[in-house]
Amino acid sequence: MMKIAKYALLDILRNRFVLFYTFFLLLVSLSMFSLDSDSSKATLSLLNIILMVVPLVSIIFTTIHFFNSYEFIELMLSQPINRKAIFASEFIAVSAALCTSYLVGIGIPVLLLNNSAESMVLILSGLMLTLVFVALGFAASISTRDKAKGIGVALLFWFYFSLIYDGLLLYIIYSFSDYPLEKITLMLVSLNPVDLARIVILLKLDISALMGYTGAFYKNFFGSSLGILYSLGVLGLWVIIPFLISIKVFLKKDI
Amino acid sequence: MIRLFLLLTILHFSTLLFGKTWVVSKDGANPSIKTTILKAQPGDTLLIKSGYFKEGNIIVNKSLVLIGQGLPVIDGENKYENFTLTAPFVTLQGLKIINTGISDVNDISAITGESVKNLRIIDNIIEDAFFGIHLKGSTNSLISGNKLKARNQRDAQSGNGIHLWKCDSIRIINNTVEGHRDGIYFEFVTHSVIQGNVSHHNLRYGLHFMFSHNDEYRNNTFKDNGAGVAVMFSKKVKMFNNLFMENWGSSAYGLLLKEISDCIIENNRFYKNTVGIYLEGVNRGTFANNQFRENGWAVKLQASSIENVFEKNNFVGNTFDLSTNGSLTANRLDANYWDKYDGYDMGHDGIGDIPFHPVSVYSMIVEKMPTAVMLWRSFLVFMLDRAEKLVPVIIPENLRDDHPQMKAYDISS
């Protein structure tokens, strides 16, 4: 399995996109820190990158990579190798590449320039988001037949989690604003990895005071070690469930 | 009024000049403050030498001057009120007053002045008092250079630092208050000045005004108090050159204004408060040359406030510059500097050519549905604000600045 993963990884590194992505993240985080003298503010500005760009790049790259290495996968399938191992090694290769570039591009500058607990949460959440969207990318590409359709589904996923879902959430809050919604929104937030990561990071940056009662409620929940474990656990589920679904589809699929 | 005051001051000093001086010293002829007060005549001076005095409640019922030398300690043993002043023209200076009793029934304090005038409470250190300096029905007094510090953690077990009830013409100058319930508390106090004080880390408000008219406070610092500063039910209060900072928490305000009218708020700095100024039922207020920096909300303007004017203020780095809960607000914004303004200035006269609407649509949503705050900094909110900026439909049309400044004002400290 590791051998296949190694070849897949070498293949990813050959097309230089990952290098470009690393360089882009590095440039963005360094320029944020040099533009803003207050390092915790720069961390906050980086939040937008982590919530928008990282998921987008992760999911699109995964989809394109899957369809580009379609022939390689076909070749592998013709060999006496377990299908599960082939899929898992592809997954490992892509996530290893993207996580490394994320850590180099954002993790190292943030740790060097603003080494604090909130930075750790920021890095960890970004890492989890990368994994989540790699898993979703595989799910998108497995469930479609051609590349254009796959990218379309991937983009739809991204749109849904970063825009449409929040719109629906706002609609729910608006419709039921006469009721206490804290617990329900907490549950609904767990259904969107992007929202979950955003709120966990914002609460760490001590902005909960702005959020009134809702903020206090969330702070109580996410501020405790149990809350951190919960959010990491939910993000973990967001990796595992799409992964399991796509592996199931892959096992039965007529490639 | 002033003449009378001068006359009284001259009288005061003349008694000082002709009075006798008693030396109170642990190893001298007069080891007790209480008995020396019994012996002294009005106008005399008591020089209290350095030492530790446990004398219960000391009642000063004559016009005496009590001056501490080498910071004598007056211990209330957590039971008594240290000083009760019942005569006019009393001076307390250079004393260290500690361990005042705590009571649920009486407002026991380190120094109480009751229905007297012309008190001078200067340069004392008051530690672990229930109430610090407490004047009731007093006039023409000076409270200056005192340092008050309490260590109570609970609201109910803690009194106010400087507590004034039904007073007139009091000057509170250069005091430091820390760890009390309210740092400085005013109720029915008129024509008074609060100047150069530092009020920080108090459990509730740094400064609390109730029904107090025609007062002025300037050059004070209010830092990290439980709920900031509150001015309520008052008229014609002037607030100049104060610094409100780091009043941070879910119900903390830099300055909370409620039911007040004709106030002038100028040259203040608001830095890192959850809410810079909160206005509810405020009429005819003038807010000019203030600096709002890095607050959660710089100004929260409830629609019950009318005819307020905001001009020549700087709004820099706030999460929300202005929020309101109604669509029709009869207040005026003019010639402020907004760092969120992205218009242009073709005439190069320093004034932006297109008006600025400081109320964002998201702040309106949050005002209506507090739960929606969980969408803060999401892509959706960004899109909503952008869309509204292009075609304003939800935000109040008349709450706009027609002359937004291109450059921040230089608001010196």
CA distance linking residue B51 with residue B57, whole number of Å: 17
Please report the residues numbered 133 through 192 in chain B whose beta carbons come closer than 8 angstroms to any beta carbon of chain A.
none
**B322: which 2 tokens?**
């202005």
Judged by a CB distance cut-off of 8 A, whether residue A222 touches chain B is: no
In a domain, B203, yes or no: no
Judged by a CB distance cut-off of 8 A, whether residue A167 touches chain B is: yes
Of A47, A194, A215, the CB nearest to B373: A215
Give me the pLDDT at residue A134, please. Answer: 96
Following DSSP, what letter does each residue of A92-129 receive, concatenated?
Answer: HHHHHHHHHHHIIIIIHHHHHH--SHHHHHHHHHHHHH
Dump pLDDT digits (tens) for B298-331: 999 988 999 999 999 999 988 889 988 877 668 9
CB contact under 8 A, A214 and B371: yes
Domain boundaries, chain A: 2-252
B332 forms beta bridges with B309
- pTM, whole model, 2 decimals? 0.83
**pLDDT of B9 above 90:** no
In a domain, B15, yes or no: yes
Give me the pLDDT at residue A181, please. Answer: 84
Angstrom distances, CA of residue B230 to CA of A17, B138, B212? 58, 23, 12
Angstrom distances, CA of residue B155 to CA of A226, B104, B131? 31, 12, 12
By mean pLDDT, which of B6-10, B147-151, B188-192 is the weakest? B6-10
**A137: which 2 tokens?**
């990318």
Band (B233; pLDDT cuts 50, 70, 90): very high
Per the listing, tokens 């009642």 go with B59
Give me the pLDDT at residue B66, please. Answer: 94
**pLDDT of B14 above 70:** no
In chain B, pLDDT over 90 holds for what percent of residues? 64
CA distance linking residue B333 with residue B312, whole number of Å: 9
Give me the pLDDT at residue B6, please. Answer: 63
CA–CA min distance A76, chain B (Å): 41
Angstrom distances, CA of residue A124 to CA of A21, A110, A130? 18, 12, 10
Chain B hits for A173, Cβ within 8 Å: 369, 371-372
Judged by a CB distance cut-off of 8 A, whether residue B370 touches chain A is: yes
Following DSSP, what letter does each residue of B261-311 receive, concatenated?
Answer: BS-EEES-EEES-SEEEEEES-BS-EEES-EEES-SEEEEE-TT-BS-EEE
In a domain, B286, yes or no: no
* Mean pLDDT score, A175-196: 89
**pLDDT of A195 above 90:** yes
Identify which has the larger pLDDT, B412 or A10: A10
* Mean pLDDT score, B256-262: 95
In a domain, B280, yes or no: no
**A251: which 2 tokens?**
């096992």
Dump pLDDT digits (tens) for A218-255: 778 887 778 888 888 999 999 999 999 999 999 988 77
Give me the pLDDT at residue B319, please. Answer: 84
Q: Is the reported ipTM for this assembly greater than 0.95?
A: no
* Mean pLDDT score, B341-346: 89
* Mean pLDDT score, A31-57: 85
CB contact under 8 A, B249 and A174: no
Band (B105; pLDDT cuts 50, 70, 90): confident
CB contact under 8 A, A170 and B274: no
Chain B hits for A122, Cβ within 8 Å: none
By mean pLDDT, which of A87-101, B36-50, B365-379 is the weakest? B365-379
Give me the pLDDT at residue B18, please. Answer: 63
CB contact under 8 A, A170 and B379: no
Q: What single-letter amino acid sits at A92? A: I
In a domain, B371, yes or no: no
Q: What's B68's domain CATH number? A: 2.160.20.10
Dump pLDDT digits (tens) for A79-131: 998 899 999 999 999 999 999 999 999 999 999 988 888 888 889 999 999 99
Please report the residues numbered 238 through 267 in chain B whose beta carbons come closer than 8 angstroms to any beta carbon of chain A.
248-250, 252
Chain B hits for A185, Cβ within 8 Å: 371, 374
CB contact under 8 A, A210 and B376: yes
Number of domains in chain B: 1
**B171: which 2 tokens?**
């000057």
Give me the pLDDT at residue A2, please. Answer: 81
**pLDDT of A51 above 60:** yes
Cα radius of gyration (chain B):
25
Angstrom distances, CA of residue A127 to CA of A29, A224, B146? 15, 21, 55
Chain B hits for A163, Cβ within 8 Å: 379-380, 383
CB contact under 8 A, B380 and A170: yes
Identify which has the larger pLDDT, B333 or B19: B333
Residue of A nearest to B274 (CA): A210
In a domain, B185, yes or no: no
A31, A115 contact by CB (below 8 A): no
Q: Which domain holds residue B119?
A: 1-152+160-179
Judged by a CB distance cut-off of 8 A, whether residue A166 touches chain B is: yes
Of A182, A194, A198, the CB nearest to B371: A182
In a domain, B42, yes or no: yes
A154, A140 contact by CB (below 8 A): yes
In chain A, pLDDT over 70 holds for what percent of residues? 97
Give me the pLDDT at residue B125, please. Answer: 95
**pLDDT of A5 above 60:** yes
Judged by a CB distance cut-off of 8 A, whether residue B360 touches chain A is: no
Q: What single-letter amino acid sits at A25? A: L
CA–CA min distance A2, chain B (Å): 38
**pLDDT of B15 above 70:** no
Band (B106; pLDDT cuts 50, 70, 90): confident
